[in-house]
């Protein structure tokens, strides 16, 4: 009962069981919520790959790493800048000696060696060779059409295997560069060969075709000794 009004009864206080009954005035039905899963979904493989590639690019930019040798990225702080197209062309060898050296190393050094000393009994030397330092016209004939059979160089005989001619492979400019190189290195100190001189020899010896020269045929072109036109 209320102390102020003994005839009014206080409202009945619901028990704990009454409070959770659907008929309770304060009952609110809550939707069922599935429990949280403690399992983590795996990251897709493609996302790993993308992240790894981005990290690789970021790292290479600072370390100066060249992608597949093409310098696609910068070289990092203080590193050399990748050359432009014009700079790359400017860096290409332009002198006959440099061009001839590259052609010799790629086509001739396997037999005559990088030292120009050849191989005893098989491939004659080019260093101090009368065939190299003598007639330019005769040397051009050898490079244009090749040579086969024994060849005497500085008193020694070499059972030369067939040397192929380069008439159908190298231009006059490239043949002149090779001749200039072998006549001006390994202690050889002869004058430069011009493309016009090779062109004249190409025309003069065109009838030789694909047949390589023998030593006797080469001696008929010019004897051993200095070339009268060989002036520095």
Sign of the four-CA dihedral 114, 116, 118, 120: negative
Please give the pLDDT value at position 175. 98
- The four Cα atoms 121, 123, 127, 132 give a dihedral, to 10 degrees, of 120
Greater confidence (105 vs 43) lies with: 105
Rounded to 10 deg, the angle between the 195-204 and 136-145 helix axes is 70
Grade residue 229 by pLDDT with cuts at 50, 70 and 90.
confident
Alpha-carbon distance of 115 to 123, in angstroms, equals 13
Asked if the model's pLDDT at residue 232 lies above 60, the reply is no
Grade residue 83 by pLDDT with cuts at 50, 70 and 90.
low
Please give the pLDDT value at position 174. 97
Please give the pLDDT value at position 200. 97
Residues 90-107 pLDDT 10s:
566 789 999 999 999 999
Sign of the four-CA dihedral 139, 143, 146, 151: positive
Residues 129-183 pLDDT 10s:
999 999 999 999 999 999 999 999 999 999 867 899 999 999 999 999 999 999 9
Whole-angstrom CA distances from 8 to 4, 5, 29, 61 are: 9, 6, 33, 87
Q: What mean pLDDT is reported for the chain?
A: 79
What SS3 string covers the chain?
CCCCCCCCCCCCCCCHHHHCCCCCCCCCCCCCCCCCCCCCCCCCHHHHHHHHHHHHHHHHHHHCCCHHHCCCCCCCCCCCCCCCHHHHHHHCCCCHHHHHHHHHHHHCHHHHCCCCCCECCCECCCCCCHHHHCCHHHHHHHHHHEEEEEEEECCEEEEEEEEECCCCCCCHHHHHHHHHHHHCCCCCCCCCCCHHHHHHHHHHCHHHCCCCECHHHHHHHCCCCCCCCCCC
């Amino acid at each position: 009962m209320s102390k102020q009004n003994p005839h009014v009864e206080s409202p009945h206080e619901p028990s704990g069981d009454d409070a959770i009954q659907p008929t309770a005035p304060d009952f609110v039905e809550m939707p069922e919520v599935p429990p949280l899963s403690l399992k983590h979904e795996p990251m897709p493989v493609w996302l790993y790959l993308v992240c790894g590639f981005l990290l690789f690019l970021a790292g290479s930019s600072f370390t100066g790493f060249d992608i597949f040798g093409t310098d696609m990225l910068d070289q990092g702080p203080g590193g050399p800048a990748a050359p432009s197209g014009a700079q790359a062309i400017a860096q290409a060898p332009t002198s006959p000696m440099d061009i001839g050296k590259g052609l010799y190393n790629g086509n001739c050094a396997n037999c005559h060696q990088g030292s120009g000393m050849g191989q005893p009994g098989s491939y004659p030397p080019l260093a101090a060779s009368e065939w190299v330092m003598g007639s330019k016209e005769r040397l051009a004939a050898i490079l244009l059409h090749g040579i086969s059979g024994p060849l005497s160089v500085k008193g020694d005989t070499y059972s030369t295997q067939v040397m192929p001619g380069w008439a159908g492979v190298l231009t006059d400019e490239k043949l002149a560069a090779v001749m200039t190189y072998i006549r001006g290195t390994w202690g050889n100190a002869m004058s430069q060969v011009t493309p016009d001189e090779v062109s004249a020899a190409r025309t003069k010896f065109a009838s030789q075709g694909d047949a390589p020269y023998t030593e006797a045929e080469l001696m008929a072109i010019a004897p051993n000794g200095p070339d009268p036109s060989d002036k520095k």
